[in-house]
Amino acid sequence: MTNFTPREIVSELDRYIIGQKEGKRAVAVALRNRWRRQQVPPELRDEIAPKNIIMIGPTGVGKTEIARRLAKLAQAPFIKVEASKFTEVGYVGRDVESMVRDLLELAIIMVKEEEAQKVRVKAEDHAEERLLDLLLPGEASSGEGREATRDKLRKLLRLGSLDDRYVEVETEESVAPPMQIFGPQGGEDMGSGIKEMFGNLFPKKTKRRRMKVADARLMLVETEAEKLVDMDKVHTLARERTEQSGIIFIDEIDKIASREGGRGPEVSREGVQRDILPIVEGSTVNTKYGPVKTDHILFIAAGAFHVAKPSDLIPELQGRFPIRVELKSLGEEEFVRILTEPKNALLRQYTALLETEEIDLVFRDDAVREIARTATSVNDRTENIGARRLHTIMEKLLEDLSFEAPEIREQSIDIDADYVRERLSEIVQDEDLSRYIL
C-alpha cells in the first residue's frame, strides 16, 4: 500500500479536481489512516474500522472524481455503484452483495496483471522458443547444424528482421455451447460456477491461425504468461487486497433515503438501506473465489440530497458514515480554473483533438471567461449540473468547427469572447431553447 502523506494526496488530487478542499482533506486522511492501520500491532489492527465518508453536494461538483482519483493513487480495487440500482431482497433487481463480488473481480484483474508482469521475462523466453519451433519445423540431419540455424534465427528474431514473416500458430478454444443461467436473486456466483463446471467438461478445440511473427510473439507472450501465473495465489492475494484496501463508492445514496412515514416505494428504499447496512458494518460475503470480509473496506457514499437529508437515512446507516463533507456548488471562477488548470483540462482535450486535423486551436483569456460565465448563467436559470455544463457548452461552441475540420486543414484558429457570444448568445437568451440544447 502506498504511504503518501495527506498533504501529498491533496496535492495530487489538485492536479485533476478544482476546489472542494474539505472533500479532498477528508479522503486524504481516510487513505492515510489505512496505511497507519497496517503499521499498528496485529492484535489492535483488526479492531480499527475505517471511517466511512458521506459526500453531500449537487451533481457535477467532483464527488465521483475525488473517489476515483483516490483509488488510482492508492492502487486499490475501486468500484462505483448506484444505490438506486439495488432492490430489497425479494424484489427483482441487483442484490447488494454483488458490489463486493464485482470489487473482488476487479482486484483479481489487477493482481493477475501484476503477477503476469513479474513473469514477463520468463514468458518472453518461452514465447521465443515456441516461435523458433514454428520457424524451424521438423528435424535437421545434424543436431549441431540445427542448433547453429536456430541461433541464427534467434538473432534475426531479436533484431526484428523476421517480424513480417508469416507463421501458423495453434490456439485453444472451448467448444462448449453458449449457456444462459437463470437463477434467484444473488445467484450470479452460482450461475457462473455452473458455466465454469460445464465448460471444463467439454474438450478444448485447437485452431490454427496464420499471422505475422510480430503479432504471434505478442500472443504467445500473453499465453505463456497466463500459464506461468499461479491463479490460486492470485485469488488469495486479490481477496486480501479487497478486504484490506478495497474502496466502494456508493453514489445516489439520497435516492434510497425515505422521509418519515413513507409508504409504497419508500418502504422498499428502507429495505435497501437495511440490506446495505450489514455490508457497511462488516459481514462475510460468499463468492466463487472464497469468502470476503467487508469489515475493512472503505465506503464512500455520495448524494445531492436536494429533497431528502442525510438524517432521513436509517439511524444505523447514518452511524456507519461518521465523516460528512459538504461539497460546494461551482461558480464562474471555478469554471475558469476547470477549463485551464487541471492536467486533463477541457480546453487541452479539445485542442489536442483538433490538432489531429492539423488545426491549431487557440483560446483567448476573454473566451475562457465568456464560456465560464455562460455555463454559470445556464446553470442558474435551468438545472444546476455543475461542471458537466461545460461539456455541453464546449460541444455546441465547436460543433461547426469539428464538422468542417477535415476540409480546413493547416490553420490556426483564434477563439475569443466575440466568437463564443456569436455561437451561443441566441441559445442562451432563449430559455426554452437552452433547456433543450444546453
Which is it for the CA torsion 226, 228, 234, 237, positive or negative?
Answer: negative
| Residue that the C-alpha cell 458455466 belongs to | 195
Element (H, E) at 287: strand 284-287
* 58, 386 Cβ separation under 8 angstroms: yes
Kindly list the distances between the CA atom of residue 275 and the CA atoms of 73, 248, 271, 396, in Å, as whole numbers in the listed order.
Answer: 30, 15, 6, 43
DSSP for 146-179, written as a single string? HHHHHHHHHHHHHHTTTTTSEEEEEEEEE-PPP-
d(CA 73, CA 56): 22
Grid coordinates belonging to 230: 499461479
What pLDDT score was predicted for residue 291?
A: 93
Q: Tell me how far apart the terminal alpha carbons of the chain are, to the nearest angstrom.
A: 43
3-state class of 88 per DSSP? coil
pLDDT recorded at residue 184: 47
Using an 8 Å Cβ cutoff, are 211 and 167 in contact? yes
Question: Are 124 and 220 contacting, i.e. CB atoms less than 8 angstroms apart?
Answer: no
Cell of 296: 475493512
CA-based nearest residue to 31, from 70, 66, 68: 70
Dihedral of alpha carbons 225, 227, 228, 229, sign: positive
pTM, entire model = 0.78
Residue 93's pLDDT is: 57
The helix/strand/coil state of 221 is helix
Query: Helix or strand or coil: residue 251?
Result: strand
CA–centroid distance for 51 within its chain = 23
Average pLDDT for runs of 10 along the chain of length 438: 83 88 89 88 88 88 86 86 74 76 93 88 85 72 69 80 78 58 51 57 70 82 86 92 91 79 59 88 90 92 84 88 88 90 90 91 92 90 86 90 84 89 81 71
